[in-house]
Amino acid sequence: MSSETIKKRNIYIAQPSMGQEEWEALKEPIFSGWVTQGPKVKEFERMFSERHQVDHAFAVTSCTTGLHLALVALGIQPGDEVIVPAFTWVSTVNVVLYCGATPVFVDVDPKTFNLVPEQIKAKITDKTKAIIAVHLFGLCADMDAIKQAAPDIAILEDAACASGAGYKGKPSGSLGDIASFSFHPRKSITTGEGGMVTTNREDLAEKVNTLRNHGASISEEQRHHGPKPYILPAFDILGYNYRMTDLQGALGIVQFGKLDQFINERNEWAKFYQQELKDLAWLQLPDFSEDYQHGWQAFVCMIDETKAPHSRNKIMELLQERGISTRPGTHAVHMLDYYVQNFGFKPSDFPGAQAANDYSIAIPLHNKMTQEDYQYVVQTLKEI
């Protein structure tokens, strides 16, 4: 490969796919002057709930704030325990601490990067109030096995990476008691920052709707368009301001319209990687059964350093030098300084998460990449 080819390339780990349509969509809220949560957010929620086959969807400022609201709606409070996987984005676990509750880790399987349901039973105590089932990188957790292990415990789906993904023919977001999605730019569709809470439970829906808006009894849109806009609503619970803006709602509508196309394209390129990279003995490719409809937020592999030409970090460095961005899949939360200092965890407490932390690698897969980009990634991986 010539050094010029090496220099010219710059393949990002993720890149939002947006353009003229998103730009045009912003005009309406800008010119109407209605830029806080309003008709655009409502339409985005309607589309999202229909696609994910849920009765309710509530747009929020991020998946993290959505997870927090979901836990508050479930009544999680100090003294409660919430079961969480040890390998996930830090905020899956931080939200448990926001509620003053205690996170209880279970390990993950480094083949799927999702929590091991068989480990749940041993972690249940009379304080366990919820399980956060993360659908990491767009692959749903094994929800049937989780429900079987904990039939009486509420399940919150962390569907940050899983817009449009499915499990046994059912969409993510409809698989537990309540769920939260992300529209951060590393996800398949984006609103800059943003999230969506979904649920079929009426009691939780009502709470989330109120909690995201300071605990107000009615939304600002309802008040402004109602008979007495000058009367402020009642506030009888402690709420938050986690509302999505209508600017983001307008973006969300356009992006959401492309979700299935984006996932189909990602599926095709994931198959290409699977086919082209299957003979690299040092690279363990994503592996899952037909029960799962992968959302392909990311293409995450494990590196077997006993067979690999270099360590995982050296491989990431060599790829970066060749214009290919990679990242570790995510991190083992029990190994992060804050959690070590406050809870005294050791890396080996959760060996699956530790291995995923040390040897996982996300290689670029997104809708801005060209066929040439994909071929270049494959060729470069084979050459190093």
Active site residues: 187
**184 part of the interface to ligand PLP, by CB under 6 A:** yes
Kindly identify the residues of this chain, within the stretch 72-131, that bind ligand PLP according to CB under 6 A: 88-89, 91-92
**Candidate list 29, 103, 195, 286; residue touching ligand PLP; CB under 6 A:** 195
Segment near ligand PLP (CB under 6 A); pick from 39-47, 157-165, 270-278, 338-346: 157-165
- Per CB under 6 A, which region of 59-67, 207-215, 253-261, 271-279 contacts ligand PLP? 59-67
> Closer to ligand PLP at the Cβ: 60 or 324?
60
Q: Which is nearer to ligand PLP, 132 or 381 (CB)?
A: 132
Per-residue H/E/C for the chain: CCHHHHHHCCECCCCCCCCHHHHHHCHHHHHHCCCCCCHHHHHHHHHHHHHCCCCEEEEECCHHHHHHHHHHHCCCCCCCEEEEECECCCHHHHHHHHCCCEEEEECECCCCCCECHHHCHHHCCCCEEEEEEECHHHCCCCHHHHHHHCCCCEEEEEECCCCCCEECCEECCCCCCEEEEECCCCCCCCCCCCEEEEECCHHHHHHHHHHCECCECCCHHHHHHCCCCCCCCCECCCCCECECCHHHHHHHHHHHHCHHHHHHHHHHHHHHHHHHHCCCCCEECCCCCCCEECCCCCEEEEECCCCCCCCHHHHHHHHHHCCECCECCCCEHHHCHHHHHHHCCCHHHCHHHHHHHHHEEEECCCCCCCHHHHHHHHHHHHHC
Minimum CB distance to ligand PLP smaller for 293 or for 380: 293
Task: CB nearer to ligand PLP: give 193 or 246.
Answer: 193
Query: Does position 160 bind ligand PLP by CB under 6 A?
Result: yes
Counting contacts by CB under 6 A, is residue 139 touching ligand PLP? no
Of 161, 211, 251, 363, the one binding ligand PLP by CB under 6 A: 161
Single residue of 18, 82, 83, 134 touching ligand PLP by CB under 6 A: 134
Which residues form the interface with ligand PLP (CB under 6 A)? 62-64, 88-89, 91-92, 134, 136, 158, 160-161, 182, 184, 195
